[in-house]
Amino acid sequence: MKYYIIAGEASGDLHGSNLIKAIKATDTKANIRCWGGDLMQQAGAELVKHYKSMAFMGFIEVLSNITTISKNLKFCKSDIDAFKPDAIIFIDYSGFNLRIAKWAKENNYRTNYYISPQIWASREGRISKIKRDIDAMHVILPFEKDFYEKKHNYPVHFVGHPLLDAISQQKLPNETDFRATNNLDPNKPIIALLPGSRKQEVQKMLDVMLSVTPSFPEYQFVIAGAPSLDLDFYAPFLKNPQVNFVANQTYNLLALSTAALVTSGTATLETALFKVPQVVCYKAHWLSYYIAKKIITLKYISLVNLIMDKEVIKELIQDDLTTKNLSSELHKILSKDTRKKLFEEYYALEKKLGGTGASKKAAELIVASTNPNK
């Protein structure tokens, strides 16, 4: 059968690649075309458009790129029509995907959503579009099943979180080799900096993250380079001898880090699953943040705190994200007592997420519903 998958950022590329592998294992004749990234292409899908040209963050950034987004929508529809898939699979990336889903449903394509839009965080009214346009929803967070089924009477499949699969497959690096290969100090403990994957957020986050380095001379700070950004982009941030850089090795870096400063997003959960104490950082354009505050009603912004429904890790948001505050919180998570407590919370978090196998469960459900004879 033919599958068309749309993911629009680095995390979607990771989860999409594991889903593609699982679909191919379930349907050995699967023909898959996708919007995504290198990982999805390496997993065996034909890549139509790379997420690097699609990742726009915040209301202001989206508005300033509206012409590009409109062209992408038009091209995507024509490409789907030319391919004529048996099923379309949307991965997160709701602004784009829900628009395609409306058109796809009107044109009698079978629609699946894997990794739900975060309508529990903002614009809950989008549930009407999901009910109308999505044939099957596969959710990855434990509270999402109750949200959809109990609150909105819309049945969904909870398949578990695919990060558990991705991390369980990760081979732990040899620390000596990793440090030598990446020109890291062989003795200083590592503080990982995960500033995000989009240019706009990295530019906002890295300056303040790096501003704390003078207070921690006994540590080395290592920036986790995103696959969506080139080395040249990071060059201005690498003038401090206390700061190093590794590209496309975030999991290896986390596996060897003592602590981390992390931009809010999927990376907060990844860091927690690697059992690394962290401080969550977030800063947006002032107007984007003002608008977001008006429509987002959540108590927390990090997935760790949302899943646990309490403050497990400290969140420094907008005006609270200062050198002084960040330095203070980093000192805390380097202390023995705080670290012990965090490790206990991280183990409880992992238990809540269920076991591995999310990609396999989602793939089997999608293939079975697309071809009932499978």
Each residue's pLDDT tens digit, 193-209: 999 888 888 988 999 99
Compute CA distances 61 → 67, 182, 286, whole Å. Answer: 12, 34, 12
CA of 13: how far to CAs of 8, 16, 281, in Å? 7, 5, 23
CA-to-CA separations, 265 to 118, 141, 218, in angstroms, rounded: 12, 14, 28
Q: What is the mean pLDDT of residues 60-66?
A: 56
For residue 90, the one-letter residue type is F
pLDDT in tens, 144-179: 999 999 999 999 999 999 999 888 888 889 999 999
**Containing H/E element for 88?**
strand 87-91
Q: Spell out the residues 6+ positions from residue 187 whose beta carbon is closer than 8 angstroms to its own.
A: none
The pLDDT confidence band at residue 355, using thresholds 50, 70 and 90, is: confident
Please report how the helices 10-26 and 358-370 are oriented relative to each other, as an axis angle in degrees rounded to 10: 60
Give pLDDT, residue 336. 94
Q: 126 near 322, Cβ under 8 Å?
A: no
Which range is least confidently modeled, 5-19, 51-65, 192-206, 211-225?
51-65
Tell me what pLDDT residue 374 has. Answer: 46
What is the enclosing helix (H) or strand (E) of 222?
strand 220-225
Quick one: residue 91, left, alpha or beta (phi over 0 = left, psi -120 to 50 = alpha)?
beta
Structure confidence at residue 98 (pLDDT): 96
Beta bridge partners of 5: 34, 89
What pLDDT shows up at residue 287?
63
Whether the Cβ atoms of residue 360 and residue 24 lie closer than 8 Å to each other = no
pLDDT at 269: 95
Q: What is the pLDDT of residue 60?
A: 47
What pLDDT does residue 62 have? 54
Question: In this model, does residue 101 exceed pLDDT 90?
Answer: yes
pTM equals 0.80
What is the structure's pLDDT at 55?
A: 57
Question: What's the rounded Cα separation, in Å, for the pair 25 and 36?
Answer: 20
136 near 366, Cβ under 8 Å?
Answer: yes
CA distance linking residue 368 with residue 365, whole number of Å: 5
Category of 169 on φ-ψ map: left (φ > 0), alpha (ψ -120 to 50) or beta: alpha
What's the pLDDT band for 333 if we cut at 50, 70, 90?
very high
Find the mean pLDDT for residues 257-269: 94
Q: What is the mean pLDDT of the chain?
A: 91
Task: State mean pLDDT over 71-81.
Answer: 94
Mean pLDDT of 82-101: 95
Section 2-19 average pLDDT: 92
Query: In the prediction, which pLDDT does 63 show?
Result: 55
- Is residue 12 scored above 50 in pLDDT? yes
User: In this structure, are residues 361 and 18 in contact, taking their beta carbons and an 8 Å threshold?
Assistant: no
Cβ count near 168 (within 10 Å)? 11
265: confidence class by pLDDT, cuts 50, 70, 90? confident
Over the stretch 285-307, which tens digit does the pLDDT of each residue have? 656 656 666 666 678 889 999 99
With b meaning 16 or more CB within 10 Å and e meaning fewer, what string describes 241-266?
A: eebbbbeebbbbbbbbbbbbbbbbbb
Average pLDDT over residues 5-31: 94
Confidence grade of residue 214 (pLDDT, cut at 50, 70, 90): very high
Does residue 373 carry a pLDDT above 80?
A: no
pLDDT confidence tier of residue 183, bands split at 50, 70 and 90: very high
Question: Nearest CA to 103 among 61, 125, 82, 133?
Answer: 133
User: 85 in helix, strand or coil?
Assistant: coil
Share of the chain above pLDDT 70, in %: 93
342, pLDDT greater than 70: yes
